[in-house]
Amino acid sequence: MQYNFLDQKDPQMAELLKLEQTRQRDGLALIPSENYVSPAVMEALGSSLTNKYAEGYPGKRYYSGNIAVDKVENLARDRAKSLFGVPYVNVQPYSGSPANFAVYFALLEPGDAFMGLDLLHGGHLTHGWKFSATSKFWKSVPYGVLPDGQIDFEALEKSAQENKPKLIWCGGTALPRLIDFERFGKIADEIGAYLVADVSHISGLIVGGAHPSPAPFAHLITTTTHKTLRGPRGAMIMVTEKGLAKDAELPEKIDKAIIPGLQGGPHMNAIASIGVALHEASQPEFKDYSRRIVENARALADGLIEHGFKLVSGGTDNHLLLVDLTPGGNGRGVFLHEALEAAHIYTNKNMIPGDPSTPFYPSGLRLGTPAVTTRAMGKDEMALIADFMSRVAEKIKDVQLPGDKESRLALLKEFRASLQDAFYSDIAAEVKMLCDRFPVEV
Ligand code: DSN
């Protein structure tokens, strides 16, 4: 790996970037929100548009010199509209959290009630988690999932009738099952609330036809652009036909919430790069890609179940899996996450619904297949990955989380030292051999 300029101009930083490239190239990226962008997406992101300020919107900027950037933003917007089948898109949010904040800012008054999936049940921080600013400025009324991992629609409907939220979020970050957007739409319509679908995790599956679209049922859709959609870090807010019918001013309200409400200059390089990713997502190969993501997630689920792992909801309909580690003891997610990392298998510890432990020591592990599918791995490779994971889990099966804080910290220190064992570097070598067979541009 070589850089044209960095190697000379800033070798210290160049070394760090190479360290990360090596990690991405030689390890298994199983974090469901991560992916590998194409060289074309990366090129647009590193283009001269990074030099340009363009506060405002196409045709209405506060800076001169917009010949190219106006066309870039319009092209990205048009591509998103056509791909998601919606009449309006804002492509300027810096990322998912700012996009969701803009929705609150556009639609709610301070103190208004809203509903979102509890973080501990797979929701996002910005869907009303108690430590998020969203629950400081607006009144968060969370809903949850049933023990089988499905949304508890009965409780949600009852609570919606009682609390009359102005806005209901659907979507999440750790939901392995299809989202019934139609049922959400009915509940929101009964009380006159806005339904906002945050499809950050599954937007690539939606445009690829591997997950139903919320467009007929939601008023607004938010999504990040860097997960299954395989673009750069960024986000979009869309207004659907249904949203326009409810409030024809929604596009203007969203635009104003982004700027001057929350943001200044849009990151035009990211917007160009989003445009490239949207173009890629409109190609026939992307349909195949999104289908294979789900196929691989199911194969990985089957492989893990064969090795004795328990999965929340018993499997998956999308790109992600949530492993319930409680059969081996509570709060063990951190140990498996770190042990797998020592073997160059990257996952993330995660709460499971009704978790008996705490967010730092959760009882689950979240996995996903978007990145390994980008590397063109398939079902056979998912079986190998399940085998690697099972060997690592077996190695640490006797590690149990102590009850008190001091003992936990002491154990974690001792556990981390144990990860120097050759057992992990040997598996990492096998992981590298697998990765070498499925090269990826990083
Ligand atoms: N933090 C993201 C995820 O990993 O799911 C959601 O924003």
Best probe residue, ligand 1, of 31, 33, 202, 222 (max atoms within 8 Å of C-beta): 33
Boundary (domain end) residue, out of 281, 311, 343: 281
Amino acid identity of 294?
V
* Alpha-carbon gap, residue 180 to 185, rounded angstroms: 9
* Alpha-carbon gap, residue 428 to 426, rounded angstroms: 5
CA 33 to ligand 1 centroid distance, Å: 6
Among protein residues, the one with the nearest Cα to ligand 1's atom 6 is: 173
Residues with CB under 6 A from ligand 1: 33, 96, 124, 173
Q: Tell me: do 206 and 255 sit in the same domain.
A: yes
pLDDT at position 403: 92
Which H/E stretch holds residue 180?
A: none
Best probe residue, ligand 1, of 35, 95, 134, 173 (max atoms within 8 Å of C-beta): 173
Q: What angle do CA 137, 362, 99 make, to 5 degrees?
A: 35
Structure tokens belonging to residue 243: 């949203």
Residues forming the active site: 53, 55, 198, 224, 227, 233
pLDDT at position 151: 97
Q: Tell me: do 297 and 246 sit in the same domain.
A: no
What CATH number did the domain enclosing 412 receive? 3.90.1150.10
Q: Is residue 21 part of a domain?
A: no
Asked if 317 contacts 202 with a C-beta cutoff of 8 angstroms, the reply is no
* Alpha-carbon gap, residue 303 to 294, rounded angstroms: 14
Among protein residues, the one with the nearest Cα to ligand 1's atom 4 is: 33
Best probe residue, ligand 1, of 121, 124, 127, 351 (max atoms within 8 Å of C-beta): 124
Q: Tell me: do 261 and 210 sit in the same domain.
A: yes
Q: Following DSSP, what letter does each residue of 303-336 receive, concatenated?
A: HHHHTT-EEGGGS-SSSEEEEE-GGG-TT-HHHH
pLDDT at position 1: 79
Q: Tell me: do 76 and 170 sit in the same domain.
A: yes
Which H/E stretch holds residue 338?
A: helix 333-342
Q: Tell me: do 344 and 425 sit in the same domain.
A: yes
Structure tokens belonging to residue 109: 């008054």
Among protein residues, the one with the nearest Cα to ligand 1's atom 3 is: 33
Q: Tell me: do 277 and 295 sit in the same domain.
A: no
Q: Is residue 92 part of a domain?
A: yes
Boundary (domain end) residue, out of 281, 299, 327: 281
Boundary (domain end) residue, out of 217, 249, 281: 281
pLDDT at position 175: 96
Q: Tell me: do 82 and 104 sit in the same domain.
A: yes
Residue showing tokens 């190695």: 395
Q: Tell me: do 271 and 300 sit in the same domain.
A: no
Q: Is residue 32 part of a domain?
A: no
Q: Is residue 336 part of a domain?
A: yes
Q: Is residue 25 part of a domain?
A: no
Q: Tell me: do 205 and 76 sit in the same domain.
A: yes
The ligand 1 atom nearest the CA atom of 31: 4
What CATH number did the domain enclosing 156 receive? 3.40.640.10
Residue showing tokens 């990985």: 300
Q: Residue 74: CB partners within 8 Å, gap ≥ 6? A: 58
CA 201 to ligand 1 centroid distance, Å: 8
Q: Is residue 81 part of a domain?
A: yes
pLDDT in tens, 92-140: 999 999 999 999 999 999 999 999 999 999 999 999 999 999 999 999 9
CA 128 to ligand 1 centroid distance, Å: 15
pLDDT at position 349: 97
The ligand 1 atom nearest the CA atom of 34: 4
Q: Is residue 1 part of a domain?
A: no
CA 31 to ligand 1 centroid distance, Å: 9
Q: Tell me: do 99 and 243 sit in the same domain.
A: yes
pLDDT at position 147: 83
Q: Tell me: do 263 and 339 sit in the same domain.
A: no
Q: Is residue 31 part of a domain?
A: no
Q: Tell me: do 149 and 221 sit in the same domain.
A: yes
Among protein residues, the one with the nearest Cα to ligand 1's atom 5 is: 173
Q: Which residues of the chain fall short of a pLDDT of 50?
A: none
pLDDT in tens, 365-402: 999 999 999 999 999 999 999 999 999 999 999 999 99
> Which range of residues forms the domain containing residue 332?
288-437
Number of domains in the chain: 2
